Every structure is written in C-alpha cells, then in structure tokens.
Amino acid sequence: MELAIKVQNLTKNFEDVTAVDHINFEVKKGEIFGFLGPNGAGKTTTIRILTGLLKPDEGTASIVGYDVLRNPIEAKQCMGVVPEVSNAYIDLSAWENLNLIGKLYGVSTHRLQENATKLLKDFGLYEVKDKLVRGFSKGMKQKLLLCMALVNDPEVLFLDEPTSGLDVESARVLREKVTQYNKEGKTVFLSTHNMEEANQLCHRTAIINHGKIAAIDTPENLRVQSMELQHIEVLFDKQVNLEEISKHPNISKASFAGNRVRVYTANPSAVIEFLVDFAKRKGIRILSLNTMMPSLEDVFIKLIKEKEASPV
C-alpha cells in the first residue's frame, strides 16, 4: 500500500494550549481523506504542519515519503494547497498569479502555459485572466486558488475549507473538480465543516476534536458504528401521544420533528411492526414512513459529545 501522507505522533502546543495532541493517521495514494472537526479542533494546525507552515513540537509527518521537516522543499514540490483564507495576489491578474506559482514550482514555461490555459478554461476564468484579482468575487477567488494549487499538477492536494462561504453552484463546481482530479489518481486531503461534503467526496474520514483523533473510517462504517442513531420518521393522519410510543422496549427515544414522529431504534423492523400495529389499534392511518440511517453529522456530534464527556 503506497502512502501519500503519513502522520506519526504529531503534536503542536501554543503556549499552554495543545492544538494537536499526538495524532496518528495515514492517507493512501489516490484517496480523498476528510478531516472533520469543530472550530478550534486542530484541523488547520494539522494542515499548516503538513504544508510546512508550522513546525511540530513532537512527531513526524511525511508527504509521498518526504519528511516535511527534513525535506521540506521536496515535500512541498509534491503538493498543492488551497488555504482557508484567500491569498492570491490581488494586485496581479489571474494569469500572473498562475504564472508566479507555476514558476515557483519550477514548471517549464511551455507546460505552464498549457496548464494555466486549461485550468482557467475549466474553471470559467479564462475570459477574465488578464483582470486584477482585486475585482474578483469570492467564488472566482476560490476557483483561482484551486487553479493555483493545481498548476504544478501535484500528487497531493490540501484543501482547507474550500467551499466555505461559496454559493451552491460554485461549491458544486469545486466539488466536481476535486472528484475529477481524484479520478486521475491524485490524493486529496480535505478539511471541512460540511458533513454532506465529506459524505459525498471522501473515501475515509477522520474526526478530530480538542487536538485528538476521535475516529477514522469510511463515512459508511462510521454510520454503522452508530446504529443506535438510526431512526424512523412516521407521519400519522392524527395527533398521537408520544408517551405511548416511547414505552416500546426497542425505542430509545421518541420526539416530534415538525408534524412527524421521529423514533430512534437499533431494531427498525421490530419498531415498524409495532408502529403499524399501533396505528391499527388507534384507528389512525400512516401517511408516510421512512427509515433513516444516521447521517455523518449525527455520528460527528455523537463522537464529539463522547469525547467531551470522557475524562481527560
């Protein structure tokens, strides 16, 4: 198994705060790896260490086999970075920005022209390539950042909250491009708040909180590990008493979600039988009934709460 990223015992302290606390993980080549966590969890600090902007206090990290501390130039040569904050040069045009970054990666002039033209066309920025970035919208700037990250055709792409603050259409285009890039065999390290985004894009996901990794697995496996979070949503034609429903031994919790009744259970088939029987006994009709798997968001919240509840 070839590794694109390997992190061992990585730790970073800021005065008395431990931002990243002895974390370990590996990302395989060709994988989209999601990095989820609440604000201040240590996501950006981890990315900053991996991209050579911060030195860790302990531990090692390597990109495509190059240690980020011992061989930073070689490690950086293999990566492209889309940071959390837009940092293209606003006094330069889109074309000049791409040329600058390409040349800093040592891309030959001919290849640079080809790559820059293709990327700007793909992202719909070719028409404005000679305009100063100062006048670009947030979506255009974010697309340009992705172009800048891809201009050297990197093996590993780091994305720190890439769709944060973007409109739906721009976010969709960005996700499509990331998927397309990954299909070419490239590795993507995606830090995000957006559970749906991680769910759609990522092959595996790590959940980080208070600088520690709470779980690493595929989004599907993470959901399966939290089956107690699966629920059934049922819509009756009349109002029902929740207490009567909650009494069933297979139902852990029942609540209203709008005009629907939401019941949490680890045994959905038994609960569906009970609900059908309940409706017959009460002489009411079931208008709709849906079994819902736990979302990645449910799993995320559960894991974060568990971590916070556990003693330090």
Partner 1 sequence: MSRLAEQFRRSFVIAKKNIKIYYSKGPVIIFGLVFPLFLALAYVIGRNIPLKEVLPGLIGMTTFFTATSVGPSIVPWETRSKTLERLLCCPVALWTIIFGDMVSSFLFGLAISIIPIIYVLTLNIELLNFIVLLFSLIIANFCFSALSVLLSAYPPTDIPATSQMLSSLVKFPLVFISGVFIPVEQLPEWGRIIASLFSINIFYRLNKTVNIRKGLLPIGIRPLNDCNFYRNILFSSNKTP
Residues making contact with partner 1 (CB under 8 A): 51-53, 72-74, 76-77, 79, 81, 83, 85-92, 96, 100-101, 103-106, 148
Phi, psi angles (nearest 5°) of residue 63:
-115, 120
Closer CB to partner 1, residue 133 or residue 234?
A: 133
Q: How far is the CB of 168 from partner 1 (least distance, A)?
A: 26
Q: What are the tokens at 108? A: 């030959």
How far, CA to CA in Å, does 189 sit from each of 46, 139, 182?
Answer: 11, 20, 11
Closer CB to partner 1, residue 152 or residue 265?
A: 152
Q: How far is the CB of 109 from partner 1 (least distance, A)?
A: 12
Q: How far is the CB of 73 from partner 1 (least distance, A)?
A: 5
Closer CB to partner 1, residue 153 or residue 217?
A: 153
Closer CB to partner 1, residue 81 or residue 261?
A: 81
Q: What share of the chain is helix, strand, coil (3-state, %, to 5)?
A: 40, 30, 30
Rama region for 264: left / alpha / beta (φ>0; ψ in -120 to 50; rest): beta
State the Cα–Cα distance between residues 80 and 155, nearest whole angstrom. 8
DSSP string, 129-141: TTSBGGG--HHHH
Q: How far is the CB of 89 from partner 1 (least distance, A)?
A: 6
Q: How far is the CB of 288 from partner 1 (least distance, A)?
A: 50
Closer CB to partner 1, residue 148 or residue 222?
A: 148
Bridge partners for 207 per DSSP: 36, 215
How many angstroms from the chain centroid is the CA of residue 291? 25
Closer CB to partner 1, residue 112 or residue 279?
A: 112
Contact between 188 and 181 under an 8 Å Cβ cutoff? The reply is: yes
Please list, in sequence order, all residues whose beta carbon lies within 8 angstroms of the beta carbon of residue 108, skipping any fewer than 6 positions away: none
3-state secondary structure of 181: helix
Closer CB to partner 1, residue 92 or residue 284?
A: 92
Side-chain half-sphere CA neighbours of 167 within 13 A? 7
Contact between 141 and 50 under an 8 Å Cβ cutoff? The reply is: no
3-state secondary structure of 62: strand
Q: How far is the CB of 104 from partner 1 (least distance, A)?
A: 4
Q: How far is the CB of 253 from partner 1 (least distance, A)?
A: 45
